[in-house]
Amino acid sequence: MSSVLSAARKALVSAGVSRLSAVVCGVSGGPDSMALLDALLQLKEEQGFSLCAAHFEHGLRGEASRADAAFVAAFCAARGIPCQMASGDVAAFAREKGCSTEAAARQMRYAFFEDCMRARGAGFLALGHHAGDQAETMLMRLLRGGGTGALGGMAPVRRSGPGLPEGKGCALVRPLLECTRQDILDYCGQRSLAYRRDESNASDDVLRNRIRNQLVPVLQTYNPQLERALGRQASILQAESDYLERAVGALLQKAYAPRYNAWRARPLAGAHPALCRRAIYRLGQQAGAQMDFEHVERLMQALKGEGGTFTLPGNVAAQVSCGYLLFAAAGHEKAVLRAPIGRTGEGSVLLEGGGALRWRYLDQLPGDWRTQAPGRLYLDAQALSGEAYIRTRRPGDRFHMLGGPGPQRLKDVLIHWKVPQLRRDALPLLICDRGIAAVAGHMPAHWARITPGSYSYLCLEITDE
């Protein structure tokens, strides 16, 4: 049995492809994608899933690119394979986005794949990356100083990210990742498969090409089975990275403070450096920051030291303040929040820093209302005079702390509570004619506290969603 066909069958089963599945196969016309398409066509008859080819013409190689597209279209037409085609001006897109031609081509190609997935109602995107591609990716990331996750290379299956519609349960699968370049060429010969050659692969202007054409042949003199060896290493690193990612998830859940949409510095700083680095990197990515090792290290030191505020690539600000780590858009104007809450029922409003403020009026307090979760508070609804609404702070605001002698500057109160600086302007306040009735997530005003004579109540809660 062909190693290519066997690998593809195994990968599809592992990814969850079934008789009811629809698969889109990205096809460039090169030997790897043609071998994959041919293998999928055989497995389609065997397993019963539907199959569609997708070809994107990048407009970079003139007539040769158009000939690739015509070749793929003819191959699919001869075998009755539905084929979606598109083209784009990658060079113009690269200039517009200020990125490399390779990055622009990948963005446009994956956006096209996602469109194909939506149009076909497909749950799987199959791409022809093989062990040689994996080896090149790992070596390229090693030269750039990548961590464990990066050095693991390409995952056999991923269920989110470029090329996949969000929230649809789709997966990108690489069925040939365990096959060497020679395996694929042998398969094409056995199956009499024609394919196109991309002459630009011979150019050493691109780092990946230099690795393929210069570095890999040298390394293969030390280990002729380099592709398979690095493939095994990738599998090991991916498993270890998956374990660490789960540990990071648990760490972030433990450290999360929903009232500020921030993470407590102490558990992060006290974690093993491997977990702390990954946690910082994940949070930065989620905030849209483009972080490298130096950015992560500076934030690690800030967590263990006196804090600080940092501007990260991607127009993101990171701050370690008052015992918390938080991220926000850098240099943005403060959003104006004003949300009436009425006098009955319940509702919610999204907060600028992330999360939401929820409120509900109650006729009866829960028995454990004094000891409920941080971020939730109760006050006397009858103490609210005039219109009640939620807003953020303004210059001159004053607040009468619970048990305090009288109103004092809200700024001083927030500093006393160690509210992170980046979150102070976004902290929601409950306002009525008398003034600030509550600082959400913290406490009601002294005059809005629950007393033995209270009979109508308002619950305010900051949540992470």
Annotated binding site for ATP: 28-33
C-alpha–C-alpha distance, residues 201 and 210, integer Å: 9
Radius of gyration of the chain (CA): 29
Residue with tokens 């280990």: 223
Beta-bridge mates of residue 321? 324
Cβ(176)–Cβ(35) below 8 Å:
yes
C-alpha–C-alpha distance, residues 344 and 361, integer Å: 6
Cβ(209)–Cβ(201) below 8 Å:
yes
User: Tokens for 269?
Assistant: 């700083």
Q: Residue 104: which of 178, 206, 202, 13 has the closest Cα?
A: 206
How far from each other are the two terminal CA atoms of the chain, in whole angstroms? 51
Query: Which one-letter amino acid corresponds to residue 70?
Result: A
Query: Which one-letter amino acid corresponds to residue 69?
Result: A
C-alpha–C-alpha distance, residues 347 and 265, integer Å: 32
3-state class (DSSP) for residue 243? helix
User: Tokens for 146?
Assistant: 């990548």
**Which helix or strand (DSSP H or E) is residue 429 part of?**
strand 429-432
Q: Residue 64: which of 156, 168, 196, 181 has the closest Cα?
A: 196
In degrees and rounded to multiples of 5, residue 432 shows phi and psi of -140, -175
- Beta strand pairing status for 389-391 and 346-350? unpaired
Cβ(109)–Cβ(92) below 8 Å:
no
Beta-bridge mates of residue 348? 358
The binding site consists of 28-33
Beta-bridge mates of residue 171? 124
User: Tokens for 345?
Assistant: 């029922």
Indicate if the alpha-carbon torsion angle 66, 72, 75, 76 is positive or negative: negative
Strand order in the sheet with 171-173: 83-87, 50-57, 22-26, 124-126, 171-173, 157-158
Cβ(337)–Cβ(429) below 8 Å:
no
C-alpha–C-alpha distance, residues 218 and 7, integer Å: 28
